[in-house]
């Protein structure tokens, strides 16, 4: 009632654009408001709310079944629908009799490759707080007067920034550390790893405690708090991203990978039903099914790093060549025509 009262106090719009989930109670409230206003209701389907509820309560729980019925019923009352994958488009039609247009998530314009000078500034900033970003002085330096991080060095005289020799690989997200450490111990020529795990969920402290109990020689794990403007800079500076996202419905795609691809960052991602709509195996990244397969992929990708970048270099080149649409460009191409045809 409060949401409906708040909406009806607004100026009458021509369209109401609603993202789902969350859809309880907003789909029904927006539909009622549109009846009063005689406006068009557009639902942007990113997932199904009831499948997220089922992760806690189970698919057969009464609340989950009610939520499923509610989403199907009020979803059919919308005037137009967008969804984030072709798989969801087919599912909406087959199970809900809802016609939708696929509108893939796209990265914002600030997700892009980070110039080397900005990389150095970011590393030096993080090195003040986080040990893995600090210079390892056992590594050979080109200049004795250089300002150094674990990954880069800047000559004070010329201001020139280069990547350090024998630098570790920078990996974003979590992975199978024990297997990778074992490969190095067995003599495989792999780089040390600095793994940055981003996010600030309620289990962060729990996992920090587990990480503190690990005693790796060649792997450093860092869980930094990043300012909003530093996150895209970090993605644009990394060597590889790892995504462990699994969809509750199997029909939506991980936004984290969308942002990584915007930065031309190759990705290893865990398999689920419609992931192929985003990650093209052996083209812009790799898809794995378990920790052993991921460890083998890391071994292959980082062998002789950074002297031979092999597949990593090819994946990054393919991402650059793809010239993927940005969010505003995708909106102009897919959504604006719908509004124009109804003017």
Q: Over the stretch 285-304, which tens digit does the pLDDT of each residue have? A: 999 999 899 999 999 999 88
pTM of the model: 0.87
* Mean pLDDT along residues 147-162: 90
Comparing 118 with 203, the larger pLDDT belongs to: 118
Q: What is the pLDDT of residue 177?
A: 65
Confidence bin at 144 (pLDDT 50/70/90): low
Give the pLDDT of residue 214: 77
Q: Is the pLDDT of residue 163 over 80?
A: yes
Residue 341 has pLDDT above 70, yes or no: yes
Please state which of the ranges 35-49, 125-139, 280-294 shows the lowest mean pLDDT. Answer: 125-139
69-78: pLDDT as tens digits: 999 999 999 9
Residue 64 has what pLDDT?
Answer: 94
Q: Is the pLDDT of residue 268 over 90?
A: yes
3-state secondary structure the chain: CHHHHHHHCCCCCCEEEEEECCCCCHHHHHHHHHHHHCCEEEEEECCCHHHHHHHHHCCCCHHHHHHHHHHHHHHCCCCEEEECCHHHHHHHHHHHCCCCEECCCCCCCCCCCCCHHHHHHHHHHHHCCCHHHECCCCCCCCCCCEEEECCEEEECCCCCEEECCCCCEEEECCCCHHHHHHHHHCCCCCCCEEEECCCCCCCHHHHHHHHHCCCCCCEEEECCCCCCCHHHHHHCCCCEEEECCCCCCCCCCCHHHHHHHHCCCCEEEECCCCHHHCCCECCCEEEECCHHHHHHHHHHHHCCCCCCCHHHHHHHHHHHHHCCCCHHHHHHHHCHHHHHHCC
């Amino acid at each position: 009632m409060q949401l409906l009262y708040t909406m009806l106090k607004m100026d009458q719009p021509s369209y109401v654009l609603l993202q789902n989930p969350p859809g309880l109670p907003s789909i029904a409230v927006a539909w009622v408001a549109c009846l009063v206003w005689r406006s068009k209701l557009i639902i942007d389907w990113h997932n199904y709310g009831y499948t997220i509820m089922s992760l806690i309560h189970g698919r057969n729980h009464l609340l989950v079944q009610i939520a499923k019925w509610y989403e199907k019923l009020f979803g059919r009352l919308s005037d137009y629908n967008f969804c984030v994958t072709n798989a969801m488009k087919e599912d909406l039609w087959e199970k809900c009799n809802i016609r939708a247009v696929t509108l893939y998530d796209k990265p914002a314009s600030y997700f892009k490759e980070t110039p080397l000078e900005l990389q150095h500034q970011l590393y030096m900033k993080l090195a003040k707080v986080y040990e893995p970003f600090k210079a390892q002085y056992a590594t050979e330096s080109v200049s004795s007067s250089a300002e150094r991080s674990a990954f880069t060095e800047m000559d004070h005289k010329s201001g020139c920034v280069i990547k350090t020799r024998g630098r570790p690989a920078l990996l974003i997200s979590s992975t199978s550390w024990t297997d990778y450490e074992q490969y190095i111990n067995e003599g495989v020529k792999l780089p040390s790893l600095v793994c940055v795990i981003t996010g600030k969920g309620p289990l962060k402290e729990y996992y920090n405690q587990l990480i503190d109990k690990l005693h790796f020689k060649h792997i450093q794990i860092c869980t930094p708090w990043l300012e909003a403007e530093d996150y895209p800079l970090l993605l644009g500076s990394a060597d590889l991203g790892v995504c462990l996202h699994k969809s509750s419905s199997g029909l939506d795609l991980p936004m984290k990978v969308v942002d990584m691809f915007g930065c031309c960052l190759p990705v290893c991602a865990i398999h689920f039903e419609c992931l192929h709509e985003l990650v093209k195996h052996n083209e812009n990244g790799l898809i794995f099914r378990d920790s052993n397969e991921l460890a083998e992929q890391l071994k292959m990708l980082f062998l002789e790093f950074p002297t031979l970048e092999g597949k990593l270099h090819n994946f990054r080149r393919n991402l650059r060549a793809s010239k993927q649409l940005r969010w505003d460009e995708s909106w102009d191409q897919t959504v604006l025509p719908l509004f124009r045809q109804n003017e």
